[in-house]
């Protein structure tokens, strides 16, 4: 395969919208690559992902994980360009993780992944949806605010080993949340512009 063919293939797959689907165990390796790229100081371990997925596919499941996959056509390379996870127990949901590959920033993929988590939380009959976000991650905070999350506290030294504080944000769920698209999420970017 020539360099020009590879460049055309990557360019074509980069322009195709990502498909959201359930995360499975065979996605962990690709998710870990992205996790380590985006969060080099406080990346989750392979064991953390295995543990989360172990509680995802049974009648009493409390975890739901989604991956965003890009690439189309027979024989085309497919790659994971984002992922997100939710924990829901006793009417309370918690966004466990959400991440989007840097070359996908500004495409709306972060909003699509977050909407998937909001929908899953509604389906799980959550009254509240919580998350933690690094205090220095303004882009993510703007996205969460667009989705109705509001700051409720700080967790000191939450992200380890870096020791960065986490801003705790909360969204009250409503009956209208399931399947509802957040006002303005279509056509806007992941960083709130």
Write out the catalytic residue numbers. Answer: 132, 144
Partner residues linked to 134 by β-bridges? 166
How far apart, in whole angstroms, are the C-alpha atoms of residue 146 and residue 114? 11
Helices (H), 69-184: 109-123, 138-146
Half-sphere exposure of 36 (CA within 13 A, CB side): 7
Whether the CB-CB separation of 157 and 163 falls below 8 Å is answered with yes
**Cα three-residue angle 112-150-109, rounded to 5 degrees:** 15
Identify the residue whose tokens are 């709306």. Answer: 108
Whether the CB-CB separation of 23 and 31 falls below 8 Å is answered with yes
The dihedral through the CA atoms of 47, 158, 37, 139 has a sign that is positive
| 3-state class (DSSP) for residue 132 | strand
Helices (H), 1-129: 3-15, 28-38, 46-54, 109-123
């Amino acid at each position: 395969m020539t360099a020009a063919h590879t460049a055309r293939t990557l360019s074509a797959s980069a322009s195709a919208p990502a498909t959201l689907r359930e995360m499975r165990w065979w996605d962990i390796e690709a998710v870990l690559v992205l996790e380590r790229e985006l969060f080099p100081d406080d990346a989750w371990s392979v064991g953390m992902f295995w543990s989360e997925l172990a509680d995802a596919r049974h009648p009493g499941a409390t975890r739901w994980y989604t991956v965003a996959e890009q690439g189309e056509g027979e024989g085309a390379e497919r790659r994971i360009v984002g992922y997100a996870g939710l924990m829901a127990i006793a009417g309370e949901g918690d966004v466990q993780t959400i991440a989007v590959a840097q070359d996908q920033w500004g495409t709306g993929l972060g909003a699509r992944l977050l909407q998937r988590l909001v929908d899953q939380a509604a389906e799980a009959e959550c009254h509240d949806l919580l998350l933690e976000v690094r205090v220095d991650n303004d882009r993510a905070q703007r996205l969460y605010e667009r989705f109705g999350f509001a700051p409720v506290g700080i967790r000191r030294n939450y992200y380890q080993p870096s020791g960065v504080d986490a801003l705790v944000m909360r969204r009250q769920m409503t009956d209208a949340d399931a399947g509802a698209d957040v006002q303005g999420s279509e056509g806007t970017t992941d960083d709130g512009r």
